[in-house]
Amino acid sequence: MTAAAPQPLASAPASTRGVPPVSVVILTLNEEMNIAECIRSCAWWCDDIHLLDSGSTDRTRDIAAAMGVTVHVHPFTSFGQQRNWAIDNIPCRHRWHFHLDADERFTPELVAEMVKQIGPDGTKSPHGAYLVPNKIIFLGKWLKYSGGYPAYQVRLFRPEVCRFIDFGHGQREHCEGTVARLDQPYIHLSFSKGLVEWFSKHNQYSTRESDEGILVRAGPRPTPSQFFGSDPVVRRRAFKNLSFFLRGRSLWRFLYNYVYRLGFLDGAVGFHYCAMMAMYEYWIEIKIREHEAEWVGKTDALSERLGAEVVR
């Protein structure tokens, strides 16, 4: 499949460009299939779009530059560090920043809610950041139940009060101001490059999650107050940390998504997605056990012994 031909940014009415006053930073790596449509979802309202590329070998940067987007390049080490580099080094025009991935899209409803919350000049909101939900699309269908909607991430924020800390394969926010929520989601086309790419990406993610799980298991278990506090983000993180202490993580993940979160209502697409997420949890657990049991060293020793027996 070839990427759409790049075109200059759409000429939006002057009254809508720069409203809301938000600078968009798009994080990319080899996203020539997605980047044009991603930019178009910003271009009709945003007058300050930046692309932060981590070393693409395809036409991602060329397409973005041809569409009038400012391109920056920085090697990727982690999501948290990449977002912080963007905060520190990209000269954005506006007080508010929104971080977007190339397989994600703005909707008019989300843009309208940003205007409502932060105001046309960006000074209305007292908050430092906003959690934003996303709609996961798989095989052309919104995973309303099995995708865990609404799941939130901080995407809209004021850079002078917000930083990001690596956690698992993603990041957590550290905000000096209060964190509020937006109701309107962005669209997440997480399977836009096919299942093989999704499996490859989640194999890498599972390695990072297993590293985090090793650290969590080495520390204390979450306290009851974390599960029953008023902060939903703290509750969610407590349940995630507790999951690293559970046996049968993959089974529990499937039952949670497919039964408790009513994933079966998404039909066959929901079943496939729940099964893949359960498999992802299995990868995490088996990698943790590999570390705990020192399988790599034992495998090397076994290979040497078997080799010696063959020689004899």
What digits encode the pLDDT tens for the residues 183-196?
999 999 999 999 99
Q: Does 182 share its domain with 267?
A: no
Q: Does 40 share its domain with 111?
A: yes
Q: Are residues 22 and 98 in contact, defined by beta-carbon separation less than 8 angstroms?
A: yes
Q: Does 96 share its domain with 177?
A: yes
Instruction: Please tell me the least confidently modeled range out of 23-32, 61-70, 212-221, 295-304.
Output: 295-304
Q: Does 49 share its domain with 130?
A: yes
Say if 208 falls within a structural domain: yes
Question: How large a percentage of the chain has pLDDT more than 70?
Answer: 88
Q: Is the pLDDT of residue 310 over 90?
A: no
Say if 311 falls within a structural domain: no
Q: Are residues 77 and 47 in contact, defined by beta-carbon separation less than 8 angstroms?
A: no
Count: domains in the chain: 2
Q: Does 87 share its domain with 102?
A: yes
Q: What is the CATH number of the domain that holds 89?
A: 3.90.550.10
Say if 40 falls within a structural domain: yes
Q: Does 170 share its domain with 31?
A: yes
User: What pLDDT does 7 receive?
Assistant: 47
Say if 309 falls within a structural domain: no
The mean pLDDT value for 1-15 works out to 45
181 contact partners, CB below 8 Å, separation of at least 6 = 130, 131, 132, 133, 152
| pLDDT single digits (tens) 49-65 | 999 999 999 999 999 99
Say if 150 falls within a structural domain: yes
Residue 141: which domain range? 22-188
Q: Does 150 share its domain with 199?
A: no
- Strand residues in the chain grouped as ranges (E): 22-28, 49-53, 70-73, 96-101, 104-105, 129-138, 141-142, 152-157, 162-167, 170-175, 179-181, 186-188
pTM for this entry: 0.83
Q: Which of 137, 163, 188 is the last residue of a domain?
A: 188
What are the CB-based long-range contacts (under 8 Å, 24+) for 144-147?
Answer: 144/265, 144/266, 145/261, 145/262, 145/263, 145/264, 145/265, 145/266, 145/270, 146/257, 146/258, 146/261, 146/263, 146/266, 146/269, 146/270, 146/271, 146/273, 146/274, 147/266, 147/273
